[in-house]
Amino acid sequence: MQARPYGEARLLNRPALIEYKHMRFLVSDAPSDSNLALYISEFERHCAKDVVRVCDPTYTTTPLNQLGVKVYDWPFGDGEGPPPAITRDWIDLVRARFGTDEGKTPECSIAVHCVAGLGRAPLLVVIALIEEGMTPEESIAYVRERRRGALNAKQTKYIMDYKRRKSRKSKCTIL
Domain boundaries along the sequence of the chain: 16-161
Give the integer Cα–Cα distance in Å for 113 and 90. Answer: 13
Amino acid symbol at 174: I
CATH number 3.40.50.1220 given to 16-161: no
- What is the per-residue pLDDT across 34-80, written as a single tens digit (0 to 9) for each? 999 999 999 999 999 999 999 999 999 999 999 999 999 999 999 88
pLDDT score for 89: 97
Per-residue pLDDT at 12: 75
Per-chain mean pLDDT for the chain: 88
Our CA dihedral for 6, 9, 14, 20, rounded to 10 degrees, sits at -110
Structure confidence at residue 167 (pLDDT): 57
Q: 33 an active-site residue?
A: no
DSSP-derived secondary structure for 71-113: EEE----TTSPPPHHHHHHHHHHHHHHH-S-TTSPPSSEEEEE
Q: Which of 47, 73, 78, 101 is catalytic?
A: 78
Rounded CA separation 154/140 (Å): 13
Question: Which residue out of 29, 50, 55, 114 is catalytically annotated?
Answer: 114
